[in-house]
Chains A and B, each alone.
Chain A
């Protein structure tokens, strides 16, 4: 599904290397988790994959289902099936959440040569998915993320993911700022989307999320590299002992 080889990334504006050779390979149907200290480059990886400006790829490659994505526009990557749930979702005053969702869904359908959803069909699907995430009608009407609580913003990200049905889902700290119940809702939302044709890359600091969304592989990122990969037990080790032992071991 997603293949990342020797990815090197620096900031466009400064001479600062952030990713220093990342290798990752995700098969369809799998869930991979990335953990790692603050500032190790996890969000940068997710931004570079989804096409945000400000980064320069100095070496390496990333492909989605065999297609090189690093030269595509963000909207083309989205249409190809990539989705990023933001660590800090953006507020857009003046654009209704519903309008935003419908515009996005229909833009992707159009890009794939599919017919746009009718207003009625769209409404039906949104309502149903919103309900399972406990997003009420008011939140759908309000401007995108404006005045949403931290947890509401994260649930709104998952709603977008559920509506867009991407193949490759990257979740950047979707669990941060969630209370216990919201964490369950979000996890259920993610689990409902798990399928053979879809892969997940879950960035998190906490083992707790991984109790709900069981990963197949856990990676540890440090200083711009994946320094260790293993099974779910690796997340437990981090939870209990922090990163010191792992970092010492690979140093």
Chain B
């Protein structure tokens, strides 16, 4: 098959200066086949249907634009939570800044080491879930990640993890172009929480493959830092076994360009997948949540809850799909995507989709875009709450359904306080 010229050019330009690392035989094979996928699919351009609302040029080009650094929070996110800290600076593991990688109930290794090994269980996952996620929709930037990633973590939870693993992504170089790839296996009945925080790099390409075995539980809360100029595209590929749980929440405040893709497959009966996000943009902000959930088993539940608050010309995108395969009876699928536009310059583009081949299912989806409710605002002000704080309260109330998806109360409170900070800073 011949690629369209634009995709071919974009692919050639990007691959020209990239060199693939050499590692164990299985790793080299995984990388070679990922590269073959990249070449066959071609890197995306603005002409591609799946990139209709988000121009991928800056994510694809060989040398990304610089991104200024931004002050970090004086009190880091998750500060009050007992956690195992793993630090990456511009996409490179920082052993000195990290805790010892040992945790009860979990095995943690560096991807860099694992890729060197002759034999490792990660062989069955690395690039495998990513490759599965290439149909029915192509995600070439994820294949690019598999081909060229040399750092990240390989995590295997064998029991109840004694505390969350917190991945801290520091951005210290204005020109950094980082690729990270994490492989996570939650064994039968095990329970793991992974937290992420930080902008990571001027440009960040991250992939995370998560395999949750029967009765396993995976919890994920991420925040993408406060940098204004950084660009990121991320992929989460998840496979869920019987009676397993997968819950992921993302807070995105600021960032010139973000595309977060989540691709989940419910392969075992009675599994539960929740993905949620709260995005806040002010000005030069383009945020895209692209979610694809496939139900391939009986009596599973999935929820997508995405909320965006946009002002001063910020742009929000949501492409969400629920695909229910013929045998996935008793599927309960829910999807809501909403934006709160704080002025007329901001924009929300949504493409919610349901594709259902089973007959006994309950699926619902909704997408709305609106302004602050003037009646509610007046009600609050008539009780003495000034316009600024009253507006903030209504913004938080708009985001509440997404925040509610965070199960851990302490983490939810911390995320909420960051939202409040973001809003308060904008009031001066």
Q: Which residues of A contact B (CB under 8 A)?
A: 50-53, 73-75, 77-79, 83-84, 86, 89-95, 99-100, 103-105, 107-108, 111, 143, 160, 164
Contacts and interface: CB of A to CB of B under 8 A. Distances in A.
Contacts of B401: 94
Nearest to B400: A94
B381 A92 contact: no
B374 interface: yes
B384 interface: yes
B394 interface: yes
B394 A92 contact: yes
Contacts of B376: 90-92
Contacts of B378: 51-53, 74, 90
A75 B385 contact: yes
B427 interface: no
B375 interface: yes
Contact of A75 (B384, B396, B400): B384
Interface residues of B: mostly helix, strand, loop or mixed?
helix
A79 B387 CA distance: 13
Contacts of A79: 384
B357 interface: no
11 contacts: A77-B382, A78-B382, A89-B379, A90-B376, A92-B380, A95-B394, A100-B380, A100-B383, A103-B380, A104-B384, A104-B385
Contact of B383 (A73, A93, A99, A104): A104
Contacts of A91: 376
Interface in B72-130: none
A93 B397 contact: yes
Contacts of B399: 94
B334 interface: no
B23 interface: no
Interface residues of B, number: 23
Contacts of B389: 103, 107
A5 B381 CA distance: 25
Given A93-B397, A95-B393, A95-B397, A51 B379 contact: no
A78 B393 contact: no
A226 to B, nearest CB: 23
Contact of A74 (B381, B398, B400): B381
Given A52-B378, A103-B389, A94 B396 contact: yes
Contacts of B398: 94
A100 B381 CA distance: 11
Contacts of B366: none
Among B386, B390, B396, B400, which residue has the most Cβ atoms of chain A within 10 A? B386
Among A75, A90, A143, A160, which residue has the most Cβ atoms of chain B within 10 A? A75
A185 to B, nearest CB: 21
A92 B393 CA distance: 10
Contacts of A107: 383-386, 389
Nearest to A80: B384
A53 B393 contact: no
Given A94-B397, A95-B396, A73 B381 contact: yes
Contacts of B393: 95, 99-100, 103
Contacts of A52: 378, 382
Nearest to A90: B379
Contact of B374 (A53, A100, A103): A53
Contacts of A77: 382
A99 B401 CA distance: 17
Contact of B384 (A94, A99, A111, A143): A111
Contacts of B385: 75, 103-104, 107
Contacts of B396: 94-95
